[in-house]
Structure 1
Amino acid sequence: MKKILALTTALCAFGAAAQAEVIVMSWGGAYGAAQTEAHLKPFTAATGIPTTMVDSDNPATPIKAMVEAGNVTVDVASLEYADAIRLCDEGLLEPISIDDLPAGSDGVAASEDFIPGAVTECAVSTDIWSNIFAYDSSKFTGEVPTTVADFFDTAKFPGKRGLKKGAKAVLEFALMGDGVPASEVYATLSTPEGLDRAFAKLDTIKGDIVWWEAGAQPPQLLADGEVVMTTAYNGRIFAAAVGEGKPFQIVWDGQIYENEMYAIPKGAPHLADAMEFIKFSTSTEGLAASATQISYGPARKSSMLNEIIYKDGKTVMAPHLPTAPENMTNALESSFEFWVDKDSELNERFNAWLASN
């Protein structure tokens, strides 16, 4: 009888393990779809481990709440770089060792294959993405916007502007729009005078701003004619323009780029499977596959050695990536150090500015 009970218990345990499901929280829209096609489906096909994608406007917020409440239902989260650093510092993420990640397809160790900064104490880069601005080319018959300063010039280019509702990337964008070179943005923004300058620049278009909060919104704002130009995540505009044939044009001047990261929340219900998912997804092949789905650059050198073609089978991705040399002329790398220190303070001021007349 004891043997039968033991066998039954073991079978039940095996059945539970077989039903274990890795839940991945990401940003939805074209980005979540790209991760599903490049990472979730191939991982399940290769391992037999079920995976499910859930969406959030910003996964950092629910992940923090889950861990602090001791009720974690997500195994892997897609996080912005500064959020990954901050949540790790707060003890809310599981540690990840670079030595546990697979070598590149050329045999080079992960520690040498990932670009500098792409692997942190608790997170691994999935891609390099960018905040850019874009316009609807059907709305312009003559001169078109070519610089970040043009975004703020409503006399020269009339019409509503779409802008993300938050301090991060908006304050930097405003300073570049006011003529501050990318190399001087954070030094300027770290001073009271520089911060005032950023808000003063935003004041010049405040009455023309349509605010957005989720990454899927900017392409829709352009498509609906609610704005003539908008800041956006570059991959969302690429997906609309190349994937759906929308007349949208990216302006790379003043782009603000950073790594997106996979991380595991502290107390994830399927820790071992979550780690296997991250290893699979951030391999040479996993990162190259992601770039065939959306125009975000791989964070491994071995992935970039491959000629990556979009899922349409004809579009070469290199010119559409934030890291293409021609797109980096006046580009700003988002400073995670700055935002880890200043996020709460600057969003508080930003929200006060929003509420003011």
Structure 2
Amino acid sequence: MRWPFRFAGKWASVPGSLSCLLRKSIPLSGSFRTLRSFRRLLIGLLLLAIVSTGGNARAGWRAHALVVNSLGGALGSAQDKAFFRPFAAQKGFGILRYVWDGTPQPRTAHGTGHAWTVALMEDSTVRAACMQGTLLRLGGAPGSADACGVPALREGIALAWDRGRIPVAPHWSDFWNVVRYPGKRGLRKDPRSTLEIALMADGVAPADVYAVLGTPEGVARAFRKLSQLRPYIVWWTSPAESARIIGNGSVLMTSAAGGEVAAAGTGQRDVGLQWEQSLDEGLSWGVAPDLDRAALDRARSLLHFMAQPEQVARFAGLYHAHPDGSAAQPLPMDASFWQEHLPDLSRRFADWLAAP
């Protein structure tokens, strides 16, 4: 956990005069020893008061800070620079940014005692949480999954590969060809994106992926395809990790968040991104449902700030989720499909992972 921003004022520090007194050693004898002891006691009490004041200031700042959950990595760093730091400086209160796994429960962030206020999550998670009442409904009709999230960005999920070992851009079918391209493969430890990729690798056209995946036969087909690759898979659980495992040579190819790979640069490897048959995933901001008026006002203020054209442009200049001028047409991930099917497919995925 981190507390990256502190705009609630300077913490107290030891004045130079007291530091000098601590460093001085004035010889005193006889009756003056009592005076020297008293002086030291007085300095110690002053220092204790200063430290206590600083601690209370820090505790007060943290108690009134806006707690934001995001996904970390280059994305979180770009949000710090484009949104959170300028907002905190403008408004005069702090922001605590935590890295989380994208699940809107529990409200307390990783057992730290800080309940989150605003959180970034996948659109399918937003829709499910909206229906469960674990996000504040910002608009829309009751009983619908609309208007519980404020769109944040579209993240591209592409095939990243080591260009030092494969000079020509591979496709998902090549991803499964471990004879021609021996080496480990990286995939997200989640049915979302992973099952779509398995079907495209098996020859399903992107436009037909969700129609096929919506049938029992299509689900079985996707898992059969995954089973072919099982011994070679290295699982990743966060966008930043997807970029790290290709950058450090842990895998030959991986599905990866394009923005994280682009931000990482070449790293230890010359990494390429194949955008044909890539996925386009929506991420949105959700607001906790049980905020008091002051916290809710701060949350709304932050969402409004992040939506301003100047801040949007600043963020786009820092985080490149898609390539500029690419002719490739990504497959938009279907949030409605995953809202409906995620519970069942997550159980099926967990059972498949646990199987020998």
Cα contact 2:155–2:258 (8 A) shared by 1: yes
Q: Counterpart of 2:160 in 1: which secondary structure?
A: strand
Kindly provide the amino acid, as one letter, of the partner of residue 65 in structure 1: P
Paired position in structure 1 for 2:65: 21
The counterpart of 1:128, out of the listed 130, 150, 154, is 154
Cα contact 1:240–1:246 (8 A) shared by 2: no
The TM-score with structure 2 as length reference comes to: 0.75
Counterparts of 1:235-250 in structure 2, within 5 Å, are 235-241=259-265, 246-250=269-273
Paired position in structure 1 for 2:339: 340
Cα contact 2:277–2:328 (8 A) shared by 1: no
1:219 aligned to 2:243?
A: yes
Classify 1:132/1:139 alpha carbon distance in 2 versus 1 (closer, same or farther; 3 Å): same
1:290 aligned to 2:315?
A: yes
- The RMSD of aligned alpha carbons is 2.5
Q: Give how far 1:146 is off.
A: 3.0
Paired position in structure 2 for 1:116: none
Paired position in structure 2 for 1:179: 203
Classify 1:341/1:18 alpha carbon distance in 2 versus 1 (closer, same or farther; 3 Å): closer
**Aligned equivalents of 1:258, 1:227: Cα separation in 2:** 23
Higher RCO, 1 vs 2 (CA within 8 Å, ≥6 residues apart)? 1
**Aligned equivalents of 2:90, 2:106: Cα separation in 1:** 32
1:82 aligned to 2:141?
A: no
Q: Counterpart of 1:157 in 2: which secondary structure?
A: coil
Counterparts of 1:1-357 in structure 2, within 5 Å, are 20-56=64-100, 58-60=101-103, 63-66=104-107, 73-97=115-139, 120-140=146-166, 142=167, 144-241=168-265, 246-268=269-291, 270-296=295-321, 319=324, 324-328=325-329, 331-357=330-356
The TM-score with structure 1 as length reference comes to: 0.75
Q: Give how far 1:352 is off.
A: 1.0
Which protein has the larger Cα radius of gyration, Structure 1 or Structure 2? 2
**Aligned equivalents of 1:188, 1:161: Cα separation in 2:** 24
Cα contact 1:175–1:197 (8 A) shared by 2: yes
Provide the aligned length of Structure 1 versus Structure 2: 289
Q: Give how far 1:97 is off.
A: 4.5
Q: Counterpart of 1:169 in 2: which secondary structure?
A: helix
Q: Give how far 1:18 is off.
A: 11
Classify 1:17/1:147 alpha carbon distance in 2 versus 1 (closer, same or farther; 3 Å): closer
**Aligned equivalents of 1:77, 1:344: Cα separation in 2:** 21
Q: After the TM superposition, which of the residue ranges 210-219 and 232-241 deviates more from structure 2?
A: 210-219
**Aligned equivalents of 2:185, 2:75: Cα separation in 1:** 23
**Aligned equivalents of 2:106, 2:243: Cα separation in 1:** 30
Q: Which runs of 4+ in 1 moved over 6 A?
A: 15-19
Kindly provide the amino acid, as one letter, of the partner of residue 20 in structure 1: H
Gap regions ≥5 residues in structure 2? 1-58
Classify 1:97/1:286 alpha carbon distance in 2 versus 1 (closer, same or farther; 3 Å): farther
Q: Counterpart of 2:154 in 1: which secondary structure?
A: strand
Q: Give how far 1:135 is off.
A: 0.7
**Aligned equivalents of 2:264, 2:234: Cα separation in 1:** 19
Q: After the TM superposition, which of the residue ranges 281-290 and 22-31 deviates more from structure 2?
A: 281-290
User: C-alpha offsets along residues 252-299 of structure 1, whole Å, 9 cap, x if unaligned?
Assistant: 1221112211111111351110110011012222222211111136xx
Q: After the TM superposition, which of the residue ranges 340-349 and 150-159 deviates more from structure 2?
A: 150-159
Cα contact 2:159–2:171 (8 A) shared by 1: no
Overall identity of the aligned pairs, in %: 29
User: C-alpha offsets along residues 22-65 of structure 1, whole Å, 9 cap, x if unaligned?
Assistant: 11101111111111111101111222232121111x232xx322
User: C-alpha offsets along residues 128-159 of structure 1, whole Å, 9 cap, x if unaligned?
Assistant: 1122120111223x5x2332211111122211
Kindly provide the amino acid, as one letter, of the partner of residue 177 in structure 2: D
Q: Give how far 1:120 is off.
A: 4.3
Cα contact 2:280–2:332 (8 A) shared by 1: yes
**Aligned equivalents of 1:97, 1:290: Cα separation in 2:** 26
**Aligned equivalents of 1:64, 1:279: Cα separation in 2:** 24
Cα contact 1:24–1:53 (8 A) shared by 2: yes
Classify 1:189/1:291 alpha carbon distance in 2 versus 1 (closer, same or farther; 3 Å): same
**Aligned equivalents of 1:120, 1:163: Cα separation in 2:** 30
Paired position in structure 1 for 2:36: none
User: C-alpha offsets along residues 96-140 of structure 1, whole Å, 9 cap, x if unaligned?
Assistant: 249xxxxxxxxxxxxxxxxxxxx9411111111122120111223
